[in-house]
Structures are given as structure tokens and as C-alpha cells.
Amino acid sequence: MARNSFGNILRLTTYGESHGFSMGGILDGVPAGIEIDQDLIQQELDRRKPGQSSIVTQRKESDTIQIKSGIFEGKTTGMPIAFEIMNADQKSKDYSHIKNEFRPSHADFTYEKKFGHRDYRGGGRSSARETVSWVAAGAIAKQIIPFIKIKAFTFSVGKLSLDENHEYNLDQTESNIVRCPDQKLADEMIDYIKSIRKQGDTVGGQVKCIVENVPLGLGDPVFEKLHANLAKAMMSINAVKGFEYGSGFSGTEMLGSNHNDIFEKDGHTQTNYSGGIQGGISNGMPIYFKVAFKPVATLMTSQRSINNIHDTVEITGKGRHDPCVVPRAIPIVEAMTALVLADAYLSHKTTHI
Amino acid sequence: MARNSFGNILRLTTYGESHGFSMGGILDGVPAGIEIDQDLIQQELDRRKPGQSSIVTQRKESDTIQIKSGIFEGKTTGMPIAFEIMNADQKSKDYSHIKNEFRPSHADFTYEKKFGHRDYRGGGRSSARETVSWVAAGAIAKQIIPFIKIKAFTFSVGKLSLDENHEYNLDQTESNIVRCPDQKLADEMIDYIKSIRKQGDTVGGQVKCIVENVPLGLGDPVFEKLHANLAKAMMSINAVKGFEYGSGFSGTEMLGSNHNDIFEKDGHTQTNYSGGIQGGISNGMPIYFKVAFKPVATLMTSQRSINNIHDTVEITGKGRHDPCVVPRAIPIVEAMTALVLADAYLSHKTTHI
Amino acid sequence: MARNSFGNILRLTTYGESHGFSMGGILDGVPAGIEIDQDLIQQELDRRKPGQSSIVTQRKESDTIQIKSGIFEGKTTGMPIAFEIMNADQKSKDYSHIKNEFRPSHADFTYEKKFGHRDYRGGGRSSARETVSWVAAGAIAKQIIPFIKIKAFTFSVGKLSLDENHEYNLDQTESNIVRCPDQKLADEMIDYIKSIRKQGDTVGGQVKCIVENVPLGLGDPVFEKLHANLAKAMMSINAVKGFEYGSGFSGTEMLGSNHNDIFEKDGHTQTNYSGGIQGGISNGMPIYFKVAFKPVATLMTSQRSINNIHDTVEITGKGRHDPCVVPRAIPIVEAMTALVLADAYLSHKTTHI
Amino acid sequence: MARNSFGNILRLTTYGESHGFSMGGILDGVPAGIEIDQDLIQQELDRRKPGQSSIVTQRKESDTIQIKSGIFEGKTTGMPIAFEIMNADQKSKDYSHIKNEFRPSHADFTYEKKFGHRDYRGGGRSSARETVSWVAAGAIAKQIIPFIKIKAFTFSVGKLSLDENHEYNLDQTESNIVRCPDQKLADEMIDYIKSIRKQGDTVGGQVKCIVENVPLGLGDPVFEKLHANLAKAMMSINAVKGFEYGSGFSGTEMLGSNHNDIFEKDGHTQTNYSGGIQGGISNGMPIYFKVAFKPVATLMTSQRSINNIHDTVEITGKGRHDPCVVPRAIPIVEAMTALVLADAYLSHKTTHI
């Protein structure tokens, strides 16, 4: 089963609860002899960490990673790489009020009913704090396939959206705290998020990811299709409600005569409605996809709910939360993409003797 | 790896090429003692089979299933259930012209480049004929969890779409050949598909699926989330470009204060933007999701393409193809949903001693 | 779970009951572009098949294999290879007497108690007829790694045993029906088996397997050790009670100063108590191991037993059975060895970028 | 692949090198709501730890376990349980001499050749220090199935052996430092090990394990047979060369008429040559098996060997090592048995709806 594992050849297994001792994981299947720059791992964690800007949760975590195995004299040994990130700033008393109460659209209710016994503090294992381990593992995965360029960015916040058909300079993504490559729209998004937060409310948004320099041939028929694994990866991220790649939902309105990507003589295609994947296998064109995030469920206003004896209660969010999850989701989307691609890359090595 | 396997406890492994000897699979992990009605399996295959109406491919296949193991005296024995469906009406000569040519937006190019050696006839294993095995296995899965009601239907064809906010009588779905529960819209869709086919063109569409009577507690944190497995299942279906559940992409424009589903005292929620799943675990409300299908890549008009020595060629589709994949996708979406849910149902049995 | 699957990269999934419709399986993960000689597969099946000599069961099966997928124009395509072997000569009425009775030391009792509902005919899925699929898959695996030489032979029948320290000419193995490379001992074994059968009794024995030309580096720490996977493979064969490799059980009586294998300058070792594997990884020396088979449980004499209402009954074996399983086990041991080694070989390809 | 994972439903993934930062693992699939006594875990670790008596390695490790997740208010939550045991007393300088040298019958040579880059300190990941994590996980597994009694003991050291046919009082096992239930033989074994150590030599031995109160029905056909999983578990332990259960190798010399276990009316059998497992499924009788351990490869005398440029060198063991691995192997054998049985127990819950 391995409920807390992801990947086949390159396989991440994680543990940890939001207010437990620590978060961490074991990344198995990393090839031997790869030089690992631990600063790059920490940089990715810093991109994800709370408290990094005025529009994200103010929980303070240094999110310093400790690597415990699998790297020797700066290089991988082929042994599993274990890592740990401490939970330093958990304020569990912020959560004592929900010990017996179920926050709307959170996992409190379903965990309680399924498992009977749950760690309610900060949402326990259902918290997005879990993704700190994904980012750590993804930063290692990126170093397995350094030639592949993975670039995620904020595509929309609420109704404020980039233009699907415009090409943006993705080097601008990290130049603003909302991680949108259009500086003007970024400013609007930031203002909007701040106003939403002032209301004690939250808002959703979309992340787009473009992957370049993908070798031809990654992915496998029929149940290891590259895009199906990307979909599972993205849908595993907290608060995600949708995934589309290539032409996506809008492609359903197209005719085949427009949608088909005509080959150039060199094997590239004139258009790329396929999104870089045909029959589940990368075709060498850029892979691109979008991920839909719902508004964060924790509000700073009062909401009606029920408790575990099914009485009606009023809940007001305490704790520190993101008013919009999208800016911090960017490195998470990239990390999961890296894990999927590195796994497919290693798997492809077994296709021929 | 198990590239051609799907599921954990209930695990389907399939084989077969479109114009090979037969299609089939092995469904492992079926509990013992379940009465299997083989007519129900055949009914599902009949819902999927080619040639069933004027708007689908005219390939003639009886798609009669032969079960080879695992059922004794009408009941499952707990042993793997193997099954086979013959390829009777393959007209491989229709494909000799693409032996060395790559059809646009098909898997010809990527299979050739990845594997070097490919069965080009009818697309080989990349053909949607593969899904005949999924429907067979799904029809068994449905009988493991007969209390769960899975109802997929055509939500849109091109721009002809049902209304998201209207509730339809899903008993009407099978009353027309396009499988849309709104009879008037169904007629429009049918006319539209016929006109598209007359042009030698194809069109995309969306399938919606609503699942009722799902027990509370199915799905597992953090990499066996119920919706993540549904996403992988749907994205594995040929021609699928997107998946969303609950509020989906439109939820990204909402505020948390609107999106949160407020609990009633009995644990049900007033709204269901969560789509019946919270934290990856079913909450007892209906699960609903949408699946985006691109237009079929095979056109009956001429298209420019390249061959395997990268010369430019002209290709005109031969063979028999669906002008719109959506009507035949309905039983496929249901089957994969049944496989995911039955697997989660069995897995849940291990949550407590 | 995949209860009926074996292997990681190269993964065999099987189905079938002794007196069911057919036996078969799907071999997934076979690399593309490998030429497959189907005659070699049939030859292996013929080495295993019943009725081949006077000292094995007289059930008549041609055991002709039909391959259904994954091979095109004589070469593998990288797609799963499905195959089927018919059950032609099942005489299920031979088994109606055990419908409600449990044969001693068979799986009748445990299957009935575990599954509730069982196919009692010929032992159903607990029958060694299952291994016909393993031999078919193993014959494909051998063609993935043709440079590795796998040679199993009868080491002992009852107390008639080869000498551990003598080197035999393994080209002689197939020159007699008991498959023992010492012709004189082989004759004694044959006479002994015949006399045992005349008494309606059965006898056990040991199979030894020597594998040469194994590339250095197969196997993985810590839960994919090459010898641990060989052990699981061998212990999965019906009637097997023990496995040892290298110095095995007798090595427990040795001192380290004698047991250690001293390296020559070329990396070979002077002795090979390690059995060709150190730390779970092949070291380039021959791998050798022994497998212990108990006497077949079906006797042609009367035995006391119980039925499913726990009354005492007398059972006399009907059906056709082997008086000693060892001669027919030789190709089975080789096949499972080939599956383990080919899997480890493919897995090793992912150890380096 | 999951090279460093063991088990299906209950799945252990481990990491760590002998002289790395720490050892540890993640145990996934533990059911929710189980009370965990952490003292019992520490007790098992103490039974295994180095320095506990005069006949084992004098490396000093407190082997104190820290549990990081999955247990809340004393009970399991169904989330993965991560744990860590520090490497406190590694003396890596003891190993600088083997940085470029390959110790005979160790994994130095095969790791170097397979991975290219290896952590040579103390054998890195090939060290039996790894088993500290197995014992920790096994101690949790025991608490999932507290009704099953698992009792391993020293069966032989060199040629000093218990009598196969005598029944011993296993409550005596822990009363002496060699863990042999016959006090007189234990004293002889202790003296023998001491004399062997004085010579700078090592010796092998056998562990026997008896498991009582196993529920009927654990294990699955055909590739999850209970004894095949036990074999893989045992063969994964460092220095193990053989495994047998029930009648084992000696059963190969028996006739079926003696070997068959005749049923009593209550379903128990008069004899138990089957070793508590029939057709891969537990039959309710005690399970028993033996495990063969070779002599430890590290000697305190001088041995010839080669280095990584294939020159001849002389190696004398430094570091602290066990002269006989068997006494410390007892809790390891028990732990792996507990993991296999708890996994089979959970898996069995999916056999029926």
C-alpha cells in the first residue's frame, strides 16, 4: 500500500504532523555518484517557508533541513536519503478549541470519522506543512535531472489572471512576493490578497507550470502515463481541486483539425496543444499544465460548524494561515513535478537492454 | 514498476494491442464469496462497444468477455480473475500506410522514439481499445461495492453544454445515444457530431460523474487521497486533458467564506464545493468530478505530417473512428471510478484492527 | 498488494486453477527490441510438462503456449506479454470426493477456512499446475539475459544424494529422466522413485542450482538483496520447505577464518562460500543454492482425515500425481531464478544516471 | 522499487549507515487506535544493542529511540510512525584503513563496484547496525498483534546444537547471554564463543523461532505465501545463508506417508511437519523455522585481501565486532517475524467484504 509514499523507482516516503516533533522523509532510489548541493535544497525550502513575506502565514519556521544518510563526501551513495525539518514554532494551544470541533471544509471531520483517534493540533497530518518534505525531496530530484527546467508561477488569484495566450518572461516570477511574472498584475494580486486578509477571508487561484528540455520518451503506457502521474502529484497537494495539461478543458471545445499538432521535419510540432506529451510519453516539446487551488478553509471570521457530539458550535480561526495558498504553492508544484520527471527518467533507463 | 497495473489492494493488470490477438487482463485482490453476475459485465461492455450507434466508430466487435479464473459456482474465490476479449474485426491493412508515418497528435511518434520497435497497427497499445479491459474490470468492481451508485454522463460536446447549476435526471442518460440526460440538448449534440463527422473532423467534450452513497472514510493521507487516485484514473483514459472535482477550476475564483461547506448537525454539509472529499477522504456527501476529452486525433481529411526518416508526408485517416469520444467514454469513466472506489473500500478495512 | 504478482521492474502476474479454463499470466516490464524465440519457451514448457516420462504424473497436457501481446514481428515491443496455456486433460470428477474433505498436508483446509468459498477441483489455485506460467515467463526472462547460464539439477531424492564437494558435468543433467548429472546415481533414483510409487507413497528431494556469468552488481541493499529475492522465489514453489545459498546451513558450523573468501587480484575469490553474493549484491562468482522439496502430499494409499463438518473420513488419492516432484521442479527453479536475475539486471540500470 | 522498504499493508522503510548521523525508519500502515507502550520498544532495542554482555561487540550505544510522528496521546493515529536512533559511538577512524581496501566476505567490494561511490565507514549501509531499525519497527508490529507469541532462541553455535526433537522451556531463553533455553548447553556455547574470540576468530550458528497463537488464514496465494515472506525477511538479515520451516531440509528424506500431518477432528494436526503453514496460509498450528547464520566476516587476525587498485594487501580487523552474531540476532529474527505476521494479519482483513 505505502499510503505515504510517492513514486516508483525514485520513491519518497514521508511522515509528520503540523504540530508534531518534526516533518521529514526518506527518498529512496536516488542514483549513486550525484553531487548534491545542499544550499539548493535550503533555497527551495526558503521559497516555501512561512513568514517569508507579508501575504503569507506568519508562523516562524527556519525550516532548516538536516540530512541524515545517503550522501557521503558531497555525493549520493545510492542509499536512501533521509531528512528532517523541525517543527519549531508550533503554537498548539491555538488549536485546543478545535479538539472536539470540526472546521468547515477541513479534514477534521473525515480524519475523526475514519481513524477515530486524531492529532487535532494544527490539522495534524492533513496540514500543508507536510509539503515541506516534498520540497526537500523535489530539490534533490531536481539535481538528478539538472538539464530539465521546471518553472511554476502564479497564473491567477481569484479573477485576476494572466492571459493564456501571452508569453511571459518567467525570470520575473521570483521578483515579487506573489510570484507572478507580470509585475503589474502581481501588484494587483498582492493588493487583493491583502484586502481579502483584512476581511478575515481567503481566496483561491491557479498555478501554471512550464517544463522545458524534457527528453523525449519519458512516461509509460498505460498506467504510468507521464501526465497521469503529474495529475496524481498535483492533486495530492493540499487544497488542489483541478488539473489540466496542454489544451486542457478549453480543448474540449476545439475541433480535431485545429487541435492536432502538425509535425515539423525535425519532430517538433507547430502548435503544442498536446502539452508536450502524446500517448502518455513526452515528445520533446515543453510540458505545461495548470493546477487549481481552492480558497484556504481557515477563516479569521466566525463560522457555524459542529463538534464531535454533533452539536452546533461557532468557530473563529486562530493560528496563522495563508490568505491565499498560491504564492507558497509555486515551489511545491515544482518539487512534485521534479519528483515525477526524475522517476520517469530513471524508469526509462529500463526500457532497453 | 508494474507499468500496466492500476490499484493497490484491488489491482488490475492489462495487456493487448488494438489489432493484436486479444485484449484482456487480470484483476487481483477481489474478495472471496462475492456473487458475480456476468450479464452485468457484458452489459457494460455493450455500453462501450464500437458500432453501437450511428455516432460512433463502425468497427464491429461483439466484445464478448471470457472469464478464465477466479469465479467458481458463480462466486469469487479470492483468486485473480482473468478475462479476455477478442479482437475480431481488426482491419490492419487500414494501417499499413502509417507503418512508417507518424499521425499528428497520436502516440505513433513517441512510441517509435521511446521503444524503437512498435506495433503500428491501429495504434497498437496506445489505442483506446485498451479500455475494453477497464470496463470489464470495472463491472466486477461495481459488484464488490454494489451499494455505491456511479453515474457518468455527457456534460458537453464542443460548446454545447449542460448547465453546471441545474440538477438533471440521470435516469435519462441512457435514453439517447450521446448519453446526455437533457433530451433536447442530446439531440443538438447528436446533430452536431453528425455534422462534424460529415466534415471528416472531430470534436471534444466533457464527462461529468456523480457518485452517491459513498461510505464515509474512503481514501488515505497523504499519497492515496481519494481524489488524487480518481485523477490518475481519469487522466489514464485516452484523450483526457483535464480533471476537476468539487468546485474545480471555478473554485479558484471564490472566497473562502463562500466556498466552505457548513456542516449540518448530522454531519452532512449545506453546500458541497468539497465534492464529497475532505483531506483526501470521503465525507459521505456525493462525489462529483468532470473529465475533459480532447477531439479525436484521427481525421478523415488530409493532414501534413512526417515519416520515420523525417520526410514530409500527407496522411488521410483510414480505419474507423469516433468523431467524438465522449459517448463511449461514459462507461469507461464509470469503470475507472468503480476500480478506485472498490480499492479504497478494501484498503479502509485495514485502518482498524 | 498484488498477491499474484512477482518482481519489480520485470513483473509477472498470473491466474488460473488446476481444473479451470486455462493457466496464464502477464509479464510486464520486458524491455523493447528483444528477439524472442518462441520455440525456446515451448521447450521449457516441455521440460516441465506432465506425462513426459514414466516417473511423473500421467496427466496429459500439451502445454502449448499462446502469446497474445507484446511481441511484434518477432521482437518485444516493451508492452506487456500475455500468454495462456489451456487445461485440456483435467479430470475434475477425480476430485468430487474431496469437495467437502480436506486432504492431509494439502491446502484444502486453509483455503476453505480463509476464503470460505473454494474451487476444490484438483486443488484449484493451490495446485503446482500454476508453475506452468512461471516456466513460460522464465523462458522469456532467460532471453532478456541470455549471457547468464542457469543450471538446476536434482541433487537428492530421499537419502540418495550427490556429493556436495564433487563437481559434476551439468551437461549430463537432461540425459536422464530424473535430471541428475550423475548417471549411476540417476538410475538408482529412478528405481527408487518407481518403487515408492508402487507403494502408493511419495518422497522428497533437493534441487541445486548453479548460475554462471552473473554480472557483478546485481541486487540492492537492504530489502532487495539478490539472495533474499531468490529465497522468496524458491519458497513460492509448491512443496518447498527450505532454501540455502553458498555455505548454507553447513556454514553455521564453520569458523570465520575458514569461511571467508579470499580475493584474488582480479576480484575473484579463492573459495566461494559466499555463493556469489556479498551484501546482497552479486560479486561475479557463480551463484549457487539448494532448494528442499517435501514429499508430495497426495498418496495412493488410504489416509485418515476430516471433512468440512469436522467428521473423520478416509481419503484415498485419485487423480494423477507425481511420486517425487523434484524432476519436474528443475525447469521451475530455473525459471524463477531467471525472473529474479532479469529483474535485478533491469533494476541495476537505474543505479547510475 | 522501494529498495529499502519491506511489507505491503504494513510497510517499513529504513535509512542509515553504520557510522552516519543516525539510523531510522518510517513504519506506514499501522492501524489507528492502538495503544503503544514505548518501554516495550526500548526493551527490544536493549535486547539487541551492542555492549550488553561479554560475548558481543563492545561498541557502546544507548540505542534510545525517538519517535517523531504517528502516535498521539499514547495511541496510534493511522499516520506513519517515524523513529530515529542515534549513532553515538561510531569510531570511524577504525575504518580509515579500509577506505580503499576490500575486506574478505564483506560487502566492500560489491558496493564499490556497483555504486562507484561508497561510505566505507563501518561498512556503511551494509552493516548489521541497520537492524536496529527493524527491531524498533518489529516492536511496534508486536503490539498490533499482541495475541501472537513469537519466541526465537539460539539453536546452535558452531556444532553445539540443541536436539531437534526435544521440547525446551522457552521461558529460559533470556536467562543466559547466549539466549539458549538449555542452560547447560548455553554455558558451553558461551565458553566456546569466548575461546573463539580469544583466537581472533568468529563462528556461525542457527536461530530457531516458534510462533504460537497464529490465527488461521494468514498468508495469500501465490506470491504472498506466508512462509515465502518469512524467508525473504530472514534472508534479508545480515549474515544469513539459509532458511527452512517445518520439516525443512530433513523433510526431503521423508516419505509422504510419514510426512503428511493427519487432521484431528478439531482441525489441529497430530504432527506438524507442515510447520503451521499449508499452501502458504497459516493453519492454526505453531509456525516454526530455522535460520542459518554464517560466521562474522570481520576477524581480529590478519587476512590477505585486495584494494581498489587490485593490489594485494593484508587486513587486520579493527573496530568492535561480534565473535558470533547469533545471540544478538534473536530479537532481530523476532522483529522481522512480527512485521511479516502483522502485515499478513492486516492483509487478511481485505479477503472478505
Q: Is C324 helix (H, G, I), strand (E, B) or coil?
A: coil
CB contact under 8 Å between D349 and B347, yes or no, is: no
Give chain D's mean pLDDT: 95
pLDDT band at residue B126, thresholds of 50, 70 and 90?
A: very high
User: What integer is the mean pLDDT of D220-225?
Assistant: 97
**A278-310 CB burial, b ≥16 within 10 A, e <16:** bbbbbbbbebbbbbbbbbbbbbbeebebbbeee
* Minimal-distance CA residue of chain C relative to B20: C69
The nearest CA of chain C is from the CA of B223 a distance in Å of 16
| Tens of pLDDT, residues D236-290 | 999 999 999 999 999 999 999 999 999 999 999 999 999 999 999 999 999 999 9
Q: Smallest Cα–Cα separation from C11: which of C167, C137, C109?
A: C137
Q: d(Cα C126, Cα C352) in Å, to the nearest integer?
A: 40
CB contact under 8 Å between C17 and B69, yes or no, is: yes
- Looking at the predicted structure, is the pLDDT value of residue C1 above 90? no
Name the burial class of residue D55, with classes exposed (0-12), middle (13-18) and buried (19+) by CB atoms within 10 angstroms of its CB. buried
Alpha carbon distance, N-terminus to C-terminus of chain C = 30
- Looking at the predicted structure, is the pLDDT value of residue D221 above 70? yes
Q: Which of residues 249-308 of C touch D (CB under 8 A)?
A: 249, 251-257, 259-267, 269, 273-275, 277-283, 290, 292-299, 301, 303-306
A211 is in an annotated binding site: no
- Looking at the predicted structure, is the pLDDT value of residue B262 above 70? yes
CB contact under 8 Å between D228 and C249, yes or no, is: no
Q: Smallest Cα–Cα separation from C153: which of C132, C167, C137?
A: C167
CA of D113: how far to CAs of A96, D102, D110, D116, D272, in Å? Answer: 55, 11, 5, 6, 45
B100 is in an annotated binding site: no
Chains that touch D (3 or more CB pairs under 8 A): A, B, C
Note whether D76 and D34 are within 8 A (CB): yes
Q: Does B127 touch chain A (CB under 8 A)?
A: no
Q: Which of residues 79-98 of D touch B (CB under 8 A)?
A: 79
Q: Which of residues 17-36 of B touch D (CB under 8 A)?
A: 29, 31-34
Q: Does B208 touch chain A (CB under 8 A)?
A: no
Q: What's the pLDDT score for residue C197? A: 94
Name the burial class of residue B149, with classes exposed (0-12), middle (13-18) and buried (19+) by CB atoms within 10 angstroms of its CB. middle
The most distant pair of C-alpha atoms in chain B lies apart, rounded to whole Å, by 68
A238 is in an annotated binding site: yes
| Tens of pLDDT, residues A165-183 | 899 999 999 999 999 999 9
Query: Looking at beta carbons, which residues of chain A come within 8 Å of C349?
Result: 349-350
User: What integer is the mean pLDDT of D200-215?
Assistant: 98
CB contact under 8 Å between A3 and B274, yes or no, is: no
CB contact under 8 Å between B255 and A295, yes or no, is: yes
CATH number of C5-347, picked from 3.40.190.10, 3.40.250.10, 3.40.50.720, 3.60.150.10: 3.60.150.10
pLDDT band at residue A5, thresholds of 50, 70 and 90?
A: very high
> The dihedral of CA B95, B99, B105, B106: what is its sign?
positive
CB contact under 8 Å between A17 and D79, yes or no, is: yes
Q: Read off the DSSP letter of residue C252.
A: G
Interface confidence (ipTM) of the complex = 0.97
CB contact under 8 Å between C33 and A349, yes or no, is: no
Query: Looking at beta carbons, which residues of chain B come within 8 Å of C88?
Result: none
User: What integer is the mean pLDDT of C230-256?
Assistant: 98
Distance from CA of residue C325 to its chain's centroid?
10
DSSP A300-348: SSEEEEEETT--EEEEE--S---S-SHHHHHHHHHHHHHHHHHHHHHHH
Q: Does B154 touch chain A (CB under 8 A)?
A: no
* Minimal-distance CA residue of chain B relative to A240: B248
Count CB-CB contacts under 10 A for residue D116.
Answer: 16
**B249-285 CB burial, b ≥16 within 10 A, e <16:** bebbbbbbbebbbebeeeeebeebbbbbbbbbbbbbb
Looking up cell 519436474, which residue turns up?
A: C328
| Tens of pLDDT, residues C86-145 | 998 766 666 777 788 999 999 999 999 999 989 999 899 999 999 999 999 999 999 999
Query: Looking at beta carbons, which residues of chain A come within 8 Å of D76?
Result: 117
Query: Looking at beta carbons, which residues of chain B come within 8 Å of D78?
Result: 351
- Looking at the predicted structure, is the pLDDT value of residue B93 above 90? no
Q: Which of C31, C346, C352 sits opposite A31 (nearest CB)?
A: C352
Q: What's the pLDDT score for residue D1? A: 62
Q: Does A6 touch chain B (CB under 8 A)?
A: yes
Note whether B136 and B82 are within 8 A (CB): no
Helix/strand/coil percent split, chain A, to 5? 30, 25, 45
Note whether C34 and B116 are within 8 A (CB): no
- Looking at the predicted structure, is the pLDDT value of residue C304 above 90? yes
Cβ-based contacts under 8 A for chains A and B: 353
Query: Looking at beta carbons, which residues of chain C come within 8 Å of D235?
Result: 225, 227-228, 231-232, 243
Q: Smallest Cα–Cα separation from B345: which of B245, B255, B220, B261?
A: B220
Q: Is B25 helix (H, G, I), strand (E, B) or coil?
A: strand
| Tens of pLDDT, residues C36-83 | 999 999 999 999 998 898 888 887 889 999 999 999 999 999 999 999
Alpha carbon distance, N-terminus to C-terminus of chain D = 30
HEC string of chain D equals CCCCEECCCCEEEEECCCCCCEEEEEEECCCEEEECCHHHHHHHHHHHCCCCCCCCCCCCCCCCEEECCCEECCEEECCCEEEEEECCCCCHHHHHHHCCEECCCCCHHHHHHHHCCCCCHHHHHHCHHHHHHHHHHHHHHHHHCCCCEEEEEEEEECCEECCCCCCCCHHHHHHCCCCCCCHHHHHHHHHHHHHHHHCCCCECEEEEEEEECCCCCCCECCCECHHHHHHHHHHCCCCEEEEEECCHHHHHHCEHHHHCCCECCCCCECCCCCCCEECCEECCCCEEEEEEECCCCCCCCEEEEEECCCCEEEEECCCCCCCCCHHHHHHHHHHHHHHHHHHHHHHHCCCCC
Q: d(Cα A221, Cα A223) in Å, to the nearest integer?
A: 6
Query: Looking at beta carbons, which residues of chain B come within 8 Å of C25?
Result: 26
- Looking at the predicted structure, is the pLDDT value of residue A90 above 70? no
User: What integer is the mean pLDDT of D151-174?
Assistant: 96
Bridge partners (DSSP) of residue A155 are none
Give the rounded percent of residues in chain A with a pLDDT score beyond 90: 87
- Looking at the predicted structure, is the pLDDT value of residue A318 above 80? no
Q: d(Cα B297, Cα A273) in Å, to the nearest integer?
A: 11
> Amino acid letter at C20?
G
A298 is in an annotated binding site: yes
Q: Smallest Cα–Cα separation from B277: which of C351, A193, A111, D255?
A: A111
Best of C109, C110, C132, C316 to substitute, by most chain D Cβ atoms within 10 angstroms, is C110
Q: Which of residues 130-149 of C touch B (CB under 8 A)?
A: none
Query: Looking at beta carbons, which residues of chain B come within 8 Å of A223?
Result: 2-6, 236
Q: Is C322 helix (H, G, I), strand (E, B) or coil?
A: coil
Q: Does C313 touch chain D (CB under 8 A)?
A: no
CB contact under 8 Å between C104 and D5, yes or no, is: no
Q: Quick one: fold of D5-348?
A: Chorismate synthase, AroC fold (3.60.150)
Q: What's the pLDDT score for residue D126? A: 95
User: What integer is the mean pLDDT of D204-217?
Assistant: 98
A124 is in an annotated binding site: no
* Minimal-distance CA residue of chain A relative to D73: A119
CB contact under 8 Å between A353 and C34, yes or no, is: yes
| Residue C343: all three cell numbers together | 529483474
Give chain B's mean pLDDT: 95
Query: Looking at beta carbons, which residues of chain D come within 8 Å of C106?
Result: 278-279
User: What integer is the mean pLDDT of B317-322?
Assistant: 76
Looking up cell 530530484, which residue turns up?
A: A141
| Tens of pLDDT, residues A116-138 | 989 999 899 999 999 999 999 99
The nearest CA of chain C is from the CA of A1 a distance in Å of 6
Q: d(Cα B48, Cα C338) in Å, to the nearest integer?
A: 40
* Residue B348 C-beta-side C-alpha neighbours within 13 Å: 25
- Looking at the predicted structure, is the pLDDT value of residue C349 above 90? yes
User: What integer is the mean pLDDT of A60-70?
Assistant: 94
User: What integer is the mean pLDDT of D95-110?
Assistant: 89
Give the rounded percent of residues in chain B with a pLDDT score beyond 90: 87
Going by the annotation, the residues of the binding site of C for NADP(+) are 48
| Residue A7: all three cell numbers together | 513514486
CB contact under 8 Å between A1 and D16, yes or no, is: no
Query: Looking at beta carbons, which residues of chain C come within 8 Å of B29?
Result: 1-3
Q: Is B176 helix (H, G, I), strand (E, B) or coil?
A: coil
Give the rounded percent of residues in chain B with a pLDDT score beyond 70: 98
- Looking at the predicted structure, is the pLDDT value of residue B196 above 90? yes
Q: Read off the DSSP letter of residue B174.
A: G
Q: d(Cα D350, Cα B7) in Å, to the nearest integer?
A: 14
The nearest CA of chain B is from the CA of D114 a distance in Å of 21
| Residue B177: all three cell numbers together | 445515444
Q: Which of C67, C80, C117 sits opposite B72 (nearest CB)?
A: C117
D33 is in an annotated binding site: no
B323 is in an annotated binding site: no
Best of A35, A72, A349 to substitute, by most chain D Cβ atoms within 10 angstroms, is A72
| Tens of pLDDT, residues B42-77 | 999 999 998 898 888 887 889 999 999 999 999 999
The nearest CA of chain B is from the CA of D143 a distance in Å of 11
Q: d(Cα B102, Cα D119) in Å, to the nearest integer?
A: 49
Helices D326-348, D131-144: inter-axial angle, 10-degree rounding? 40
pLDDT band at residue C331, thresholds of 50, 70 and 90?
A: very high
pLDDT band at residue D92, thresholds of 50, 70 and 90?
A: low
pLDDT band at residue D178, thresholds of 50, 70 and 90?
A: very high
Give the rounded percent of residues in chain C with a pLDDT score beyond 90: 87
Q: Which of A304-318, C158-172, C188-202, C329-343 has the lowest mean pLDDT?
A: A304-318
Going by the annotation, the residues of the binding site of C for FMN are 125-127, 238-239, 279, 294-298, 320
Cβ-based contacts under 8 A for chains B and D: 37
Q: Is C315 helix (H, G, I), strand (E, B) or coil?
A: strand
pLDDT band at residue C169, thresholds of 50, 70 and 90?
A: very high
Q: Does C221 touch chain A (CB under 8 A)?
A: yes
Sheet strand arrangement including A287-293: A160-161, A149-157, A205-212, A287-293, A240-245, B240-245, B287-293, B205-212, B149-157, B160-161
| Residue B116: all three cell numbers together | 524503437
Alpha carbon distance, N-terminus to C-terminus of chain A = 30
Query: Looking at beta carbons, which residues of chain B come within 8 Å of D352?
Result: 31-33
pLDDT band at residue D318, thresholds of 50, 70 and 90?
A: confident
Cis peptide before B222 (omega within 30 of 0): yes
| Tens of pLDDT, residues B291-316 | 999 999 999 999 999 998 889 999 98
